[in-house]
Amino acid sequence: MPRSFLALQGTASHFFSRLSTGLIENGHSAHRINFCGGDLLYSGSAHCWNYDGQVSGLDGWYSETLKSGDFTDILLFGDCRAVHQPVHALAEQFGVQVHVFEEGYVRPHWLTLEKHGVNGRSRLPRDPAWYLEHRTSAPSPALATGYNLYERAWHDIRYRMGNALYASRFPGYRSHRPFNGAKEYAALAKRFAQQKRHRDEAARATSQVLKSRRSYYLFPLQLNSDSQIIVHSPFSGVREAIERVMRSFAKNAPRDASLVIKNHPLDTGIVEYRQFSRELAKTLDLDDRLVFLEDGHLPTLLEHSRGVVVVNSTVGLSALHHRRPLIALGHAIYDMEGMTWQGGLDDFWTQASRPDMNLYYAFLDYVIHHTQINGDFYTRTGIEMAVQGAIRRLEQTDD
């Protein structure tokens, strides 16, 4: 049966425009809402409306749009963005199904598509027994998408240029990003120039840690602006999380263990962590037990670690894959008995055990079958794969 899709803000790429076109070609209707110049630049040939009002006016605008009954489904990327926050309750009120896209729970070569919400808003069960009872066949291995960080960066630059070019047409728009494009890209350019040095330093430090045979715990950082930190964690930012972990480690971890903190590969460096961590280490008498990495080979670091601490990063799933004891300090879809330590952080350092791998694989198989799509948002091949997979998923009628 033909459906009518309303696409809200998507990724900084052609993905939503290609998806809208594909839905129309399959006999559905699709309209897009542009909230900013970047959206307009990537809007494609689908029917589009421009919303040029304030975020505070979206409640009324969404209500008028949805109560007409013209739409059966809503598509959006990032369910915590300010332009999307009002639509969830209104969609439920008017019987409109919300489909949320996000970066993949499983990496690489996957993206996420869930009904209702993702991450902390996901309706995936949190009961371990449920996954064991509903275990499905193992999914086929993901096909490589050709994902390229530089191609993603180019899309982001174009999107920011669109925002600047068409700013007068969207006077009420405020980005969910904390810093303007010029500041972010100046910081990223600086980090790019330091990339080889960071990589070499990380390789040397990792080699020294492994050769020392001293046990270590790994704490991979997330982006400070990530909604996973802002909305779905108890922390106001990454620095607060670092301080919480380091203080607990200093007081409770085995004295022969080190703490390895690894920065996020897409961190801009605007909020500084290395010096912050080192200064805190001095006050906590952790000078010789802290290793801070700006880069590093994550699988190697995971494989040899004594345990892994995350806020709610998808790195948690990689830690489980490597059978590492794991604790999640925020809301995470994988945070459940049998996969993560359910006690407090202070006890984790000495009491946590390895995950139940049977449960992990049951969970992973279900998540891939029901929430993951092989593809990416930024490359030509990845977008084509993702559009085909998303349309198949959207046309399914099961809940």
Q: Can you give the pLDDT at residue 184?
A: 85
Answer whether residue 299 is part of any domain. yes
Compute, in degrees rounded to 10, the torsion defined by CA atoms 336, 130, 373, 218: 20
Task: List the chain residues with pLDDT less than 70.
Answer: 45-46, 397-399
Residue that the structure tokens 């080699």 belong to = 207
Q: Are residues 235 and 307 in the same domain?
A: yes
SS3 assignment, position 256: coil
Q: Report the alpha-carbon distance of residue 266 to residue 100 in Å, rounded.
A: 23
SS3 assignment, position 374: strand
Contact (CB, 8 A) for 126 and 366:
no
SS3 assignment, position 91: helix
Q: Can you give the pLDDT at residue 46?
A: 67
Q: Are residues 281 and 209 in the same domain?
A: yes
Q: Are residues 136 and 225 in the same domain?
A: no
Nearest CA-CA partner of 394 in 11, 28, 10, 49: 28
Q: Can you give the pLDDT at residue 192?
A: 84
Q: Are residues 207 and 66 in the same domain?
A: no
What CATH number has the domain bearing residue 223? Answer: 3.40.50
Q: Are residues 95 and 228 in the same domain?
A: no
Q: Are residues 40 and 126 in the same domain?
A: yes
Q: Can you give the pLDDT at residue 138?
A: 85
Answer whether residue 183 is part of any domain. no
**Could you tell me which residues come within 8 angstroms of residue 60 by beta carbon, excluding any fewer than 6 positions away?**
none
Q: Can you give the pLDDT at residue 179?
A: 75
Q: Can you give the pLDDT at residue 257?
A: 98
Nearest CA-CA partner of 244 in 316, 311, 302, 294: 311
Contact (CB, 8 A) for 263 and 219:
no
Q: Count Cβ atoms below 10 Å from residue 81 Cβ, excluding itself.
A: 16
Q: Report the alpha-carbon distance of residue 361 to residue 132 in Å, rounded.
A: 9
Q: Are residues 377 and 323 in the same domain?
A: no
Q: Are residues 357 and 376 in the same domain?
A: no
Q: What's the number of CA atoms in the CB half-sphere (13 Å) around residue 128?
A: 14
Helices (H), 3-116: 15-25, 37-41, 58-67, 87-93
Q: Describe the strand order of the beta sheet including 4-7 as a list of residue ranges.
A: 47-50, 29-34, 4-7, 73-77, 97-103, 110-115, 372-374
Residue 171: cis peptide before it, omega within 30 degrees of 0: no
Pair of tokens at residue 23 = 């839905």
Q: Report the alpha-carbon distance of residue 70 to residue 3 in Å, rounded.
A: 10
Answer whether residue 167 is part of any domain. no
Q: Can you give the pLDDT at residue 397?
A: 60
Which domain range does residue 60 map to? 4-150+372-390
Q: Are residues 292 and 347 in the same domain?
A: yes
Q: Are residues 377 and 356 in the same domain?
A: no
Q: Are residues 146 and 211 in the same domain?
A: no
Q: Are residues 143 and 217 in the same domain?
A: no
